[in-house]
Structure 1
Amino acid sequence: MLTNKGTLIPIGGNEDKGTEENEQYTLEFIDEGILYHVVREAGGSDAKIVVIPTASSIPVEVGENYLEAFSTLGCENVTVLDIRSKADSEKQESIDLITSANCIMFSGGDQSKITDKIGGTKIHEIIRHRYKNEKGFVVAGTSAGAMMMSQEMIAGGSATESFIKGAVNMYKGLSLIPGLIIDTHFIKRGRFGRISEAVAKFPKLIGIGLAEDTGMIIKNNKCRVIGSGMVIIFDGRRIKHNNHKILSPGTPMSLTNMRTHILSNGDSFHIDKKKVKVLAIEAPFI
């Protein structure tokens, strides 16, 4: 796998935006929160950040929330790019913003809206080119904005019908990181079954389940966990029994030897080497 020079930060959704009134809580958000890491990776509070709320059904409100959150972190050069059609993705204004930004931040919502309105357009091409070639360029995304980063993208599916063939719907994402399949709100919404099916369908890919207020900083094919929750890694390369291909929809699946890892803040996973590194028990929380 070729190393991309840029940085990806997929987030599991519902990340802290520093809206609590308690002073200590606000200080923790500024010093330790996920958006703090986004800003730091993008070069600090002077970074030019473009927020894209395309996935959301309330893009104006979502954009305003991110403007306030980034302002709390001292960022003044933040713009909301409200793309609602493929034509918007081809406008020169959109192209100029994406070309000059240090960080692109995709909101949550419906990931299919991102792929339908941005996929295959000029700004999609620019984002992929810059992520591949520019050190320090950051693409961050929460919930839908994280899931669309993969090539084989989870577009939906029932969590209540876990481990049943057909519980997951797949679609093509923006292919920023083809080796992963990303799911979000993972613990709270019980999405173990649908990512298991996704990995059963694509056993050479690594499944990543992100809890809420939890993310990963992906640089040089290495993923480091940030935030308050857990990341579950699903490695299907050594599956010994996988009957997904022969089953009818609605039938329970059988999978054996699916490797899983549970990681938390500061732990890491190397995409190429498929190796996990965890912090020592006595290591400080970061």
Structure 2
Amino acid sequence: MSRLLNALCLTLLILPVSAGDSVDVLGLPKERYSDWPVRTSSRGSVAIAEKLADNEVLVPLLNRDELPVALIASDEIAALLPSAKLTRPEADTSLVEWISKQLDSSKAICWISDSRDDIEVLLKIRKPLQSFVAEGGTVVLIGPHAVAAGSNYSARDDLRRWKLGAGLISDAAICSSTASDSDTFLKALTRRVGIQLGQTGLLYLRARKFAVVGDGQATFRLAKGSWLNAREQVLRPQKSRGQDPNEFIVDLTEWRRDAIERTLEPFPPAKPPTPHVKSGTLYIVGGGGMPKGLMEEIVKAAGGKDAEMVYVPCAEQEEIPRSSLIDLWKRMGVKSAVVLHTKDRVKADTDEEFYKPLKTATGIWFGGGRQWNFADSYYGTTTHRLMKEVLARGGVIGGSSAGASIQARYLARATPIQNFNIMAPGYERGGLGFIGGVAIDQHFSQRGRQKDMTKLVNRYPQMLGIGLDEATAIVVNGSEAKVVGRGRAHFYDRNVPVVEGEPDYVALPAGSKYELATRRVLHDATPPPKEEAAEESADTESVEL
């Protein structure tokens, strides 16, 4: 029966998802809740290894003042942890009962074993261990049972057979260092992140970020999809302070999202939706300050004194301080001003009290930060649908920096580790989709991002690239974008031949208008050189929202 259940679970994982023909209230394809991991991070930590070359790597993890540690290990390991408050089982104690009991009083479980039989013990307490990690606990598994820490593990390195694991590392399928048939390994891992442990080295997951501690490595793999190539990265310890973090850190949620992507229809589609806002208005700001008077214009468009405004911050932490924007809106006399924030996708999808303000909202403002946070929290949820309904009712959607990029269906520059890659694996589908057919980047000239957008539209010539300078915005009604602010809006259209030695974009200043649907400059307000220099420092406010 257990073999049948395992086979059924894995079969369900490999079923492809079709695009269907369902559209949202804006006339765009609906985003699906199932296309994003439900839990995108954890409060706790998990560390796994088959064996360690040096047990000292455990010291910084566990040897902390009075840290309650349930230790299943030798006296030699215990001697390395004099500062921790250790609890150890008596001989012949049932590990299932003993560990279950320790979960209430311990902050960490360190379990070192040389017996593969301990996999079965681990699986018997998988649910309480999952809760322990979710609530902030640390689990360290060293030995043959470490491979069972993921959602699936290989049965004695037979990569054609996968069993359900303890689920401490979500959507991971883990095998030992001795597994060798990588082709089979990849084929069996649809919607799973394949992790092959190294012979030594501690693979440490904290929240959502992986690193290897001590001498050793771990190999991460994703299966080939119908339109995406297989992906592989060998993760090794950090060697120098100035080293690229992408070489020694793996973001688990990015890889989980990329694993899901391999089961979906191609994105962006060969024929993306025409950039057009059926109703309402978009205010898309390039960060680095607001164009003068723009927030007043936004509030007026949202109803003035009758405006019901919602601020959605872009934050990685669960709790955020009160925003000065709420106070600003109240001073402007709006009817209501609330903050909407969660890192819990289930809450964003099912908590009616949470998303209630959106049902009557007339305006939404998305804050600055790292735009992948918006996707992780809201993509495909009921909250997301209600945000779109605000625009469909004729309301206002605005945002700056990350709050600019997130407005497009295609999400540019959304890598969770740094933000140098404009095309982020796993996150390109993550835009909230208030407008289709475009990719939006910000802080454009100030951070020299022109070449990045060139790379994007070269790969996806069907997309209209938009790069916004700081303190510069486009205001979109229908398919017309009006430029406001001190800098320029850059439009990249690969329907226009690129001439060597000349810019591959048009850059329009304030007062200009661009037709997004037909990709035409309606009006170029570029002033003569002397006037342009005089106006460069004007028409901006230093507020970053």
Partner Cα separation in structure 2 for residue 39 and residue 134 of structure 1: 16
RMSD: 3.1
In the alignment, what sits opposite 2:387?
127
Distance 1:43 1:193, change over 3 A: same
Note the C-alpha offset of 1:79.
0.7
For the 8 Å contact 1:54–1:83, the answer to whether it is kept is no
Note the C-alpha offset of 1:228.
2.3
For the 8 Å contact 2:316–2:343, the answer to whether it is kept is no
In the alignment, what sits opposite 2:424?
169
Note the C-alpha offset of 1:185.
0.9
**AA at the equivalent of 2:514:** F
Secondary structure of the residue aligned to 1:87 is helix
In the alignment, what sits opposite 2:519?
274
In the alignment, what sits opposite 2:301?
41
Secondary structure of the residue aligned to 2:342 is coil
In the alignment, what sits opposite 2:344?
85
Residues 96-120 of structure 1, C-alpha deviations (whole Å, 9 max, x = no match): 1111100011111111110111000
Matches within 5 A, 1:97-176: 97-131=357-391, 133-135=392-394, 137-156=395-414, 168-169=423-424, 171-172=428-429, 173-176=431-434
Note the C-alpha offset of 1:72.
4.5
Distance 1:57 1:145, change over 3 A: farther
For the 8 Å contact 1:159–1:193, the answer to whether it is kept is no
Distance 1:167 1:3, change over 3 A: closer
**AA at the equivalent of 2:346:** A
In the alignment, what sits opposite 1:199?
457
Partner Cα separation in structure 1 for residue 422 and residue 474 of structure 2: 26
Partner Cα separation in structure 2 for residue 204 and residue 66 of structure 1: 37
The answer to whether structure 1 residue 65 and structure 2 residue 305 are counterparts is no
For the 8 Å contact 1:54–1:84, the answer to whether it is kept is no
Partner Cα separation in structure 1 for residue 527 and residue 331 of structure 2: 33
Distance 1:60 1:201, change over 3 A: same
Secondary structure of the residue aligned to 1:231 is strand
The answer to whether structure 1 residue 4 and structure 2 residue 278 are counterparts is yes
Tell which structure's C-alpha radius of gyration is larger: 2
In the alignment, what sits opposite 1:263?
508
Note the C-alpha offset of 1:34.
2.3
Partner Cα separation in structure 2 for residue 271 and residue 95 of structure 1: 31
The answer to whether structure 1 residue 182 and structure 2 residue 437 are counterparts is no
Residues 245-265 of structure 1, C-alpha deviations (whole Å, 9 max, x = no match): xxxxxxxxxx89874111122
Residues 120-167 of structure 1, C-alpha deviations (whole Å, 9 max, x = no match): 000111222442x322x1111111111111122113479998xxxx66
**What is the total number of aligned residue pairs between the two structures?**
252
In the alignment, what sits opposite 2:246?
none
The answer to whether structure 1 residue 14 and structure 2 residue 288 are counterparts is yes
Secondary structure of the residue aligned to 1:194 is helix
The answer to whether structure 1 residue 228 and structure 2 residue 502 are counterparts is no
**AA at the equivalent of 1:143:** S
Partner Cα separation in structure 2 for residue 268 and residue 58 of structure 1: 40
For normalisation by structure 2, the TM-score amounts to: 0.42
Bigger shift: residues 194-203 or 170-179: 170-179
Bigger shift: residues 180-189 or 82-91: 82-91
Bigger shift: residues 152-161 or 92-101: 152-161
Partner Cα separation in structure 1 for residue 331 and residue 318 of structure 2: 22
For the 8 Å contact 2:277–2:434, the answer to whether it is kept is no
Partner Cα separation in structure 1 for residue 355 and residue 316 of structure 2: 21
**Greater relative contact order (Cα 8 A, min sep 6): structure 1 or 2?**
1
Note the C-alpha offset of 1:240.
6.0
For the 8 Å contact 1:57–1:109, the answer to whether it is kept is no
**AA at the equivalent of 1:44:** G
Partner Cα separation in structure 2 for residue 203 and residue 4 of structure 1: 24
Secondary structure of the residue aligned to 2:320 is helix
